[in-house]
Amino acid sequence: MRVVIIGGVAAGMSAASQARRARPDAEILVLEKTQDVSYGACGLPYKLPPDTDMDDLLVISAQRFREERNIDVRLGHEVLRIDPSRRQVGGRNAEGDFVLDYDKLILCTGARVWAPPIEGLDTLWGQGAYPLKTIDDGRTIKAAMAAHPPKHVLVIGAGYIGLEATENFREMGAEVTVVEALPEILPWLPETLRARVVAQAQAHGVEMLVGTRVEAIGRTGSGLAVETSDARLEADLVLVATGVRPESELASAAGLALGAAGSIAVDESLRTSNEHIYAAGDCADAIHAITGESVWFPLALRANRAGKLAGDNVFGHQRPAPPVLGTAVFKFFGLEVARTGLSSEEADAAGLDTASTEIVGATRAGYYPGGGKLSVWLLGERKTRKVLGCCMVGPEAAAHKIDTAAAAIHAGMTVEQIYDMDLAYAPPFGPSWSPLLIAASQLSKALD
């Protein structure tokens, strides 16, 4: 049996490795269009400083996959078409065109950078204006900065990657301006929690322009001129961090059904609308644990987990992929910013009658040195009293306490059940009444 996997990063290599464990006698073939497989893309912003090595993000080389796991990894193989009726894929490599048969196919094509319609961007792409999606993108940016260390960086987009990169550019000594087209950064955050992130940017000398569109970019001497909807800016380097889109064109052209945000629709076994084709990772959709609707969350845990499950299920196993909550966290200078479940806007769109509360608690006991304030926002449904969403912002504790909230939401716990949980306490880690428990107490009153 031949299993062909398109894409060799998180989901693809997880699928290949699990398929090999499941069927030692199967032919496992991975087609990767770049020269890199199996790397930690989430670490890209942290490898921008000159005293770091981008290649530290590489986990297992293609050669090791071939030698140690008997997986046929073919680099530089770009798949351009899928023929489900013949069970074939076709594409191009350095030697020319190729066609390969498959018994089962797993699409792990990931997500692609969305390049906004900015005049002049095409000319400067990779030569002054850069994406940061792949490890090769990271190498390109580091080489550019080594040749001409930037004094002023302009970041287009205030999502996770944009803000994480902003921190690292700033710590390298560059002045940074962040331009965000939306009226506010991080729209899923409640306003008061968002204000803490904005204040953190200001405290570290980051200029944040919201409700501002970049309309044109061009060279001016050795630098770049950036025309926005509000003003003309100058920069030495532009990072395009305007988000990603699911890489689903191959699937769509092959007649496969699509789900949320144009991602590839899959069932709980990761099977697409074609019985012989599966999809996993950032190219595929998932089911939301609260709404039961198709959602698209390009996050690392889902990619690795879905790849592993797809690698089993192509052989007839029925290991279902669990629903998701979109649990996520990122670091911005001295703040941890975390979320799980629904925002108020998402709950309203789902037709849920909700109430929310916000509290500010301590991250350590008052008499213990250090720490700071943890902002906690909780959302609950009036009818069932179940907690539906949580956001946290603070200098510590948010990254781990958000997991407690996620576990409770996955379990369908009511706000009273959360309040009754027996949580750990010690002075270096928080007050005896956890901020999450305090927030649950307040939400219980708001739901009445």
Q: Which positions are annotated as active-site residues?
A: 42
With beta carbons less than 8 A apart as the criterion, state whether 105 and 7 touch.
no
Q: Identify the burial level of 354 via C-beta atoms within 10 angstroms of its C-beta, where 0-12 means exposed, 13-18 middle and 19 or more buried.
A: buried
d(CA 112, CA 242): 11
Residue owning tokens 């959302």 = 379
d(CA 357, CA 443): 5
d(CA 306, CA 315): 15
Length in residues, the chain = 448
Locate all alpha helices (DSSP H) within 297-424, ordered by sequence: 300-313, 344-349, 398-410, 415-419
DSSP of 82-112, one letter per residue? EETTTTEEEEEETTEEEEEE-SEEEE---EE
Sequence letter at residue 302: R
Backbone φ and ψ for 270, nearest 5 degrees, come out as: 75, 15
Residues 6+ apart with CB under 8 A from 301: none
d(CA 34, CA 64): 17
| Partners of 358 in the β-ladder | 377
d(CA 207, CA 370): 28
306 token code pair: 């879905």
With beta carbons less than 8 A apart as the criterion, state whether 168 and 49 touch.
yes
Locate all alpha helices (DSSP H) within 23-106, ordered by sequence: 62-69
